[in-house]
Amino acid sequence: MAIEVTVTHDPKDILRQVYDPSNQKKGYELAASKGMTFSAFLETISPTKPGEPLDAYERLLKYCGIVLKDDPDHGIYASKGALFFQSNLPEARVLFPEFINRTIRAAMMDEANVLDYLVAGWDIADSNVFRSFYFDDTATQRKAGRRAEGAKPRKFKVTWSEKAVYTKDFSIELDMSYEFVRWASLPVIQLALKRVALERQQDEVAEAVYVYVNGDGTSKEGTSISAETLSSYGITNGGITYEAYLKWLAGFDPYNPSVIVASAADLISLLVMAKPSTDPALLYALLDKSKTGGVPTIVNLPFSQMSFVKFNDSTILTSKYVLGIDKRFGLMGHRALGMDLVETDRVIDAKFEKIVISNYVGFSKVFASAAKILDITAIS
């Protein structure tokens, strides 16, 4: 049955549609039933017009007199948490759970989000069960060559994975009572929530790296990675060399590795390895324009722009193992929508002693050959 909402820009009418004292979860249940966040659901009731500076949720905050940030130049200071629970406007309390969720989401999406370097994209669903897709990506299929006359064209098979996968629960309990929220300023509460988001991000990064290394268990694309050794790249004695490193990167073809994941110590080993006086990977940028008629462009350079991600959990990524990935084709992330905050009714009703930030997330491999591991243990 479709959920009908009355489109309006009257804040009183909007709050009436999402807040019911007899059902504290009303607005959030309606949003989840439509596969939306609470903020997105508010937009269906009160669409934001082009050029409007505030979205629907922010307009309701303004109506309730709730200020999120200090503006000392204009003598305006952030509200206390108690303003969400003001007695003269009880509907304002329905906005508090989304304040928590939006703070967490914003912190997870800032410029320091490591997942941006590991995940190709996200699949958002209203369930904690998902199916990945499988693409037949064997070396034979990737082999180039002209098709003989009358021969069948190369065939790539795209289908769903063999098994359904459940997202995992990475919930975090924040021991923050209503009494604390009531007297704390909103920037202080946001700071605590951002710290929770940092912990949540580390959990998700660990799960993403785990799936890269061990597979997602859904199909042959979801198997674990076997580490290559330095001997495969001509080293019979000693540690990693720059030449071996470049050969390893070149071996990703047709993928183009853009991210290296390793422990801090192993990343340092890569950064300090001896290089020729003129780095061949950067030589094209150093050529004299007057003699060449311009700086040449080397197409399909496998070792151009590289991001280094520090990951120190040796129980997931073994020490001396370096994980290289083409993040465009490596992993898909799967996140269960509407499960960010549990016990929403208790939070709205101001009967909480703690807040549980719930997080259901999973990852699936898309193309297994878009990730490789090199064991840089020195050969004696």
Token digits of residue 238:
């000693």
Whole-angstrom distance, CA of residue 8 vs CA of residue 336: 29
* Range list of β-strands (E), 11-63: none
* Contact by Cβ (8 Å): 302, 256: yes
DSSP structure class, residue 238:
B
CA of 312: how far to CAs of 110, 161, 290, 318, 319, in Å?
22, 31, 47, 9, 8
Hey, what domains does the chain have and what are their CATH numbers? 222-332+367-375 (3.30.2320)
**Splitting the chain (380 residues) into consecutive groups of 10 residues, what average pLDDT does each group show?**
78 94 85 86 96 96 95 90 93 94 86 85 75 62 59 68 74 90 95 90 94 81 84 92 91 89 95 75 52 56 78 96 94 74 80 86 86 94
Asked if 353 and 178 count as a contact pair (C-beta separation under 8 A), the reply is yes
Q: Distance (Å, rounded) from C-alpha 256 to C-alpha 243? A: 17
Task: Tell me the C-alpha distance between 133 and 231, whole Å.
Answer: 35
pLDDT per residue as tens digits for the range 299-351: 555 566 789 999 999 999 999 999 999 999 989 888 876 545 667 888 888 88
Closest among 259, 273, 274, 370 to 305, alpha carbons compared? 259
In angstroms, the CA 330 to CA 252 distance is 12
Apex 250 CA angle, 309 and 226, nearest 5? 65
pLDDT in tens, 30-60: 888 887 889 999 999 999 999 999 999 999 9
pLDDT of 291 reads: 52
pTM: 0.82
Q: What angle do CA 285, 287, 291 make, to 5 degrees?
A: 140
Q: How far apart are CA 220 and CA 349, in angstroms?
A: 49
**Cβ-proximal residues to 317 (8 Å cutoff; 6+ apart), any chain:** 209, 213, 261, 262, 263, 311, 323
